[in-house]
Amino acid sequence: MKARCPECDGEIEVYDDVINGEIVTCPECGMDFEVVIEEKGEIKLVPAEVEGEDWGE
């Protein structure tokens, strides 16, 4: 299955066995997106949150 990147409109390959919360990367712009599977089975891509380093603070 293919999805469109919300950032650059590139094509992202999303496999049929994708699970909710899985991270996919756009091959065009390199952005990471979290897969959200809605009630109707539609797939939505939302920007993945980037966890920063804690450096002991």
Q: What is the pLDDT of residues 6-50, one digit of tens each?
A: 999 999 999 989 999 999 999 999 999 999 999 888 899 999 987
Looking at the 3D structure of the chain, how many domains does it have? Answer: 1
pTM, 2 dp = 0.79
- Give the confidence band of 53 by pLDDT, cuts at 50, 70, 90: low
Structure tokens at 29: 């712009």
Residue 18 lies in a domain: yes
Answer whether 8's CB lies under 8 Å from 26's CB: yes
Reported residue count of the chain is 57
What pLDDT was estimated at residue 54? 61
**Domain range enclosing 18:** 2-47
Residue 53 lies in a domain: no
Q: What is each CA distance from 48 to 4, 35, 42, 44, 56, in whole angstroms?
A: 15, 9, 18, 12, 24
CATH of the domain at 43: 2.20.28
Residue 16 lies in a domain: yes
What pLDDT was estimated at residue 40? 87
